[in-house]
A and B are shown apart, each in its own frame.
Chain A
């Protein structure tokens, strides 16, 4: 028996040393940053993005330009697509994250990110004043800056002009109200054609709903981020969310699928929903699919100012990065005028670029910039570090409303279930 064990131990030892030997060589190659066939001086900078398709191609082009401007540097663009969070989890978990990465969820990740105030303040090339005001707030935790804005979008209502023309309904205009919106949705619904006035997401991102809640004069959380009772379950919050549940119930809106299902984008492209609420992302694909599409600002609740929510993508540097200066150079390059002009998938963050390209004159883009001026409120996830937990309850409540529950009731329950996370 002893002999057997010692034999196995011996064999294991041999195998381990073989494995680590062949691993070792790989490891050395990796840490010294030599790409395959790269010269010894080449430094590899890892840049992680969630973008795909054309947006990714542009990012690769920007990376190539950066390489050209910085000889001896290779930018490895790592496209994580749908697996972005999982890849970052593995990377941070093993202290092997990319040097530069796209980022929006700062409350979750900020402890692993490099504070950027020092870089941003010192570096006049960045030209902070050219950025739209307020964008930097989305990359801050407390007073520390963790991300440089790279792109953003606000949300508007898309409408299918053809369906409006067929029904003889005039196109919606900026300054319209939710009552008008619901009325139009009714008129454009035709059950026999399986056509609906509006599409409601079965699984809403509560982040996106904040615009409606703010517009009705409420919010999910108190401005100091400490209380949700009386905010998340206020009459106004419930009213805003109930409205969508009611539209599904009365048939003027259709419930559009969850993650992998036929999305509202798809059904809008098919000409089966007349109005759809979203960011800038699907605009190009709507055009490509041949939809005669218009955009309009969000409707208002009577007598209250319209508010909007802004989704920002920023660039961050990992705390564990071994080449932070180079990483900063890349970030700066990425948000320079030239790079921003190349990127078309979201809205430019620099005012000078927008003015130069006359983006805010384009009728399709104009509502996005109008909504930008209405995006002054701070989203809940930046106000409380435990928001993720609260949001779990809130999301379930919102989903229940879309399936017919009473908003006031389920929101009260959600507040009750969430209170413990805020203590």
Chain B
């Protein structure tokens, strides 16, 4: 396949081996990323700076704007119990959600990666919840979790278990939210599946020739080969966990007793319920920093555990490949 493209490309471009290249070579990467730079400057940077500025103001959406220096930040850390409550709820949620999300998505992807009949149907079934819009999702879950009338408890009662009123019980509400969020793992599963399919079969072959069992193969071939995918899913999961808002907003409203009062919801309420835009911007910048630091750490650590084939230095696979290539040619 690739060989043909390569071949075509050679023929097509032989004619224009241009001066242009040398002249534009230095700017080329910037030209490629230019669309993003432009979009960033125009649609993101401005609003972002604006939000940074207003975080130093008392900025009600209606009414008088006053400069108050660091007061928003000071109030947030020293004088607002809701800040700490919501931060703690979000950290708890992230600690549960991120690993579970990755394990479940990867597990499902591996199940689907087997040779099975009807895999298209199963894939679609696993992805189904991701197609449903938020408003309907919340209603579906409220019906699942309802204490007296929900299907979850109806199901449990068949086994003689009296389930709690999931969303009105502070012990269970956050767990219920985690489960509901995991239900929408479809995209992540799909990305894993694509990653798994990308692992060359010959790697498994040579591993099994070396006498590695299924479990060894999983840890020495599968996991290393999908580390770029894991990195992607890890980072996006962390971000998703910190930004979790829709479900809380539509399903629990942060309750009961603030047990699902996510940081994003706290921010949202400060902005749109209490109209304290400046304060909300300060909240947002703090969260932004936390996630940024987390991501940065994950990213830095990834140099130690993520394996990019494209970045690979000379090693045995190159040799093997050149051998194979030679044969094909």
B262 vs chain A, min Cβ distance (A) = 14
Q: Which residues of B contact A254 (CB under 8 A)?
A: 148
User: Is the beta-carbon distance between A12 and B275 smaller than 8 angstroms?
Assistant: no
Q: Which of B35-43, B114-122, B194-202 contacts A (4 or more CB under 8 A)?
A: B35-43
Which of B41, B142, B258 is within 8 Å of A260, CB to CB?
A: B142
User: Is the beta-carbon distance between A85 and B272 smaller than 8 angstroms?
Assistant: yes
A170 vs chain B, min Cβ distance (A) = 27
User: Is the beta-carbon distance between B148 and A16 smaller than 8 angstroms?
Assistant: no
A258 within 8 A of B: yes
A112 within 8 A of B: yes
Q: Which of B95-103, B249-257, B302-310, B319-327 contacts A (4 or more CB under 8 A)?
A: B249-257
Q: Considering the complex, give the chain B residue whose CB is closest to the CB of A4.
A: B27
User: Is the beta-carbon distance between A403 and B143 smaller than 8 angstroms?
Assistant: no
A200 vs chain B, min Cβ distance (A) = 11
A202 within 8 A of B: yes
Q: Report the separation of the CA atoms of residues A13 and B148 in the bound assembly, to the nearest whole angstrom.
A: 62
User: Is the beta-carbon distance between A8 and B37 smaller than 8 angstroms?
Assistant: yes
Query: For the side of the interface on A, what is the size category?
Result: 35 or more
Q: Which residues of A contact B143 (CB under 8 A)?
A: 262
User: Is the beta-carbon distance between A11 and B34 smaller than 8 angstroms?
Assistant: yes
Q: Considering the complex, give the chain B residue whose CB is closest to the CB of A110.
A: B62
Q: Which residues of A contact B271 (CB under 8 A)?
A: 89
User: Is the beta-carbon distance between B253 and A4 smaller than 8 angstroms?
Assistant: no
User: Is the beta-carbon distance between A3 and B149 smaller than 8 angstroms?
Assistant: no
User: Is the beta-carbon distance between B34 and A8 smaller than 8 angstroms?
Assistant: yes
Q: Report the separation of the CA atoms of residues A360 and B121 in the bound assembly, to the nearest whole angstrom.
A: 59
Q: Considering the complex, give the chain B residue whose CB is closest to the CB of A113.
A: B62
Q: Report the separation of the CA atoms of residues A11 and B38 in the bound assembly, to the nearest whole angstrom.
A: 9
B277 within 8 A of A: yes
Q: Which of B165-173, B224-232, B281-289 contacts A (4 or more CB under 8 A)?
A: B165-173
Q: Considering the complex, give the chain A residue whose CB is closest to the CB of B145.
A: A261
Interface residues of B in 267-319 (CB under 8 A from A): 271-275, 277
Which of A112, A255, A258 is within 8 Å of B62, CB to CB?
A: A112
Q: Report the separation of the CA atoms of residues A258 and B273 in the bound assembly, to the nearest whole angstrom.
A: 17
Interface residues of A in 107-129 (CB under 8 A from B): 108-112
**Across the A-B interface, how many residue pairs have beta carbons closer than 8 Å?**
100
User: Is the beta-carbon distance between A8 and B30 smaller than 8 angstroms?
Assistant: yes
Q: Report the separation of the CA atoms of residues A362 and B34 in the bound assembly, to the nearest whole angstrom.
A: 69
Which of A89, A112, A258, A396 is within 8 Å of B253, CB to CB?
A: A258
User: Is the beta-carbon distance between A86 and B272 smaller than 8 angstroms?
Assistant: yes
Q: Report the separation of the CA atoms of residues A261 and B252 in the bound assembly, to the nearest whole angstrom.
A: 7
Q: Which residues of A contact B274 (CB under 8 A)?
A: 388-389, 392
User: Is the beta-carbon distance between B62 and A92 smaller than 8 angstroms?
Assistant: yes
User: Is the beta-carbon distance between B63 and A16 smaller than 8 angstroms?
Assistant: no
B86 vs chain A, min Cβ distance (A) = 13
Q: Report the separation of the CA atoms of residues A86 and B245 in the bound assembly, to the nearest whole angstrom.
A: 15
B146 within 8 A of A: yes
A259 within 8 A of B: yes
Q: Considering the complex, give the chain B residue whose CB is closest to the CB of A11.
A: B34
User: Is the beta-carbon distance between A260 and B34 smaller than 8 angstroms?
Assistant: no
Which of A12, A86, A260, A399 is within 8 Å of B251, CB to CB?
A: A260
B168 vs chain A, min Cβ distance (A) = 5
Cβ proximity bits B148-168 to A, threshold 8 Å, 1 near / 0 not: 110000000000000001011
A53 vs chain B, min Cβ distance (A) = 15
Q: Which residues of A contact B273 (CB under 8 A)?
A: 85
A164 vs chain B, min Cβ distance (A) = 21
B275 vs chain A, min Cβ distance (A) = 6
A4-B30, A7-B27, A85-B272 known; A261-B62 Cβ under 8 A: no
User: Is the beta-carbon distance between A403 and B34 smaller than 8 angstroms?
Assistant: no
User: Is the beta-carbon distance between A89 and B272 smaller than 8 angstroms?
Assistant: yes
B91 within 8 A of A: no
Q: Report the separation of the CA atoms of residues A267 and B152 in the bound assembly, to the nearest whole angstrom.
A: 17
Q: Report the separation of the CA atoms of residues A251 and B138 in the bound assembly, to the nearest whole angstrom.
A: 27
B26 within 8 A of A: yes
A257 within 8 A of B: yes
Q: Report the separation of the CA atoms of residues A399 and B271 in the bound assembly, to the nearest whole angstrom.
A: 22
User: Is the beta-carbon distance between B149 and A262 smaller than 8 angstroms?
Assistant: yes
Q: Which residues of B contact A92 (CB under 8 A)?
A: 61-62
Interface residues of A in 327-353 (CB under 8 A from B): none
Q: Considering the complex, give the chain B residue whose CB is closest to the CB of A86.
A: B272
User: Is the beta-carbon distance between A261 and B167 smaller than 8 angstroms?
Assistant: yes
Q: Which residues of A contact B275 (CB under 8 A)?
A: 89, 108
User: Is the beta-carbon distance between B146 and A396 smaller than 8 angstroms?
Assistant: no
Q: Report the separation of the CA atoms of residues A95 and B78 in the bound assembly, to the nearest whole angstrom.
A: 34
A357 within 8 A of B: no
Interface residues of B in 9-50 (CB under 8 A from A): 26-27, 30-31, 34, 37-38, 41-42
Q: Which residues in A have some Cβ–Cβ distance to B below 8 Å?
A: 3-4, 7-8, 11-12, 15-16, 19, 85-86, 89, 92-93, 108-112, 194, 202-203, 254-255, 257-262, 267, 270, 272, 388-389, 392, 396, 399-400, 403
Q: List 20 A-B contacts (CB under 8 A).
A: A4-B26, A4-B30, A7-B27, A11-B38, A15-B42, A16-B42, A109-B62, A112-B62, A112-B63, A194-B148, A254-B148, A255-B168, A258-B255, A259-B249, A260-B252, A261-B252, A262-B146, A389-B274, A392-B274, A399-B256
